[in-house]
Amino acid sequence: MDFAVVAEGVARRYGRRWALAGVTFRIPPGSVAMLSGRNGSGKSTLLRVLATAIRPDQGRAVVGGFDVVRDREDVRRQTALLSHYTYLYESLSARENLTVAARVIGSTSWNGLLDEVGLANRADDPVSTYSAGMRKRLSFARVLLQDPKIVFLDEPYGQLDPEGFALVEGVVRRFRERGATVIIATHQIERVASYADMQIHLEGGRVVESGR
């Protein structure tokens, strides 16, 4: 079986501290995988390694059949990352932010996305006037702008209200229907467990539980 994501002994160090130590797992294509663990357990670091935002210090990771170190651009072309950091242009409006993002990835089909994420009535306001929840919604619109095979969501429920929770689950459902693989790092264990196919649990940068 070909796996969408494979990690073999992945390790990452910050100074003297190992954020990840010997992380190994496999995720089948089309799965929704829940990545759980306490604060500081390595969830965000692992997603950033898989998305090629940072390099592993040891081990190997393969995403969509491509090595995250040797084939970074190939990995990036088929993945999308919703990060803790929004990387939005503060002085631009939501509409302008999506226009820029669409130009970068060569997409023209973003009409309706702002309505879908609940920002249509603030589409022309500068992002600097947005709340944290509104910024998260705009970040989701930018993810939806793409057509990735593998999606990484880092604490997608953070800063959102109950209506926003439904948005998260709608986004996951949409990608699942497209056949994409979705990996969700979250503290919302019971909520995500209700629709996830498998769980990877980290403690101290190590996998202590993995499976359906």
Cα–Cα distance measured from residue 18 to residue 82, given in angstroms and rounded to the nearest whole number:
23
> Could you tell me the CATH superfamily of domain 29-48+79-211?
P-loop containing nucleotide triphosphate hydrolases (3.40.50.300)
Nearest one of 4, 12, 9 to 32, comparing CA atoms: 4
Q: What's residue 84's pLDDT?
A: 83
Its pTM stands at 0.95
Indicate left, alpha or beta for 156 from its phi (over 0: left) and psi (-120 to 50: alpha): alpha
- 110 pLDDT band, cuts 50/70/90, is confident
- 1 pLDDT band, cuts 50/70/90, is low
Residues sharing a CB contact under 8 Å with residue 153, sequence separation 6 or more, in sequence order? 82, 168, 172, 182, 183, 184, 185, 186
Measured from the Cβ of residue 76, the count of other Cβ atoms closer than 10 Å reads 17
Q: What's residue 184's pLDDT?
A: 98
Report helix, strand or coil for 204.
coil
- 106 pLDDT band, cuts 50/70/90, is confident
Residue percentage of the chain with pLDDT more than 90: 91
Model confidence pLDDT, tens digit, residues 14-67: 999 999 999 999 999 999 999 999 999 999 999 999 999 999 999 999 999 999
Alpha helices in the chain (DSSP H): 43-50, 72-77, 94-105, 113-116, 132-144, 162-177, 189-193
On average, the pLDDT of the chain sits at 95
Nearest one of 66, 67, 39, 69 to 54, comparing CA atoms: 69
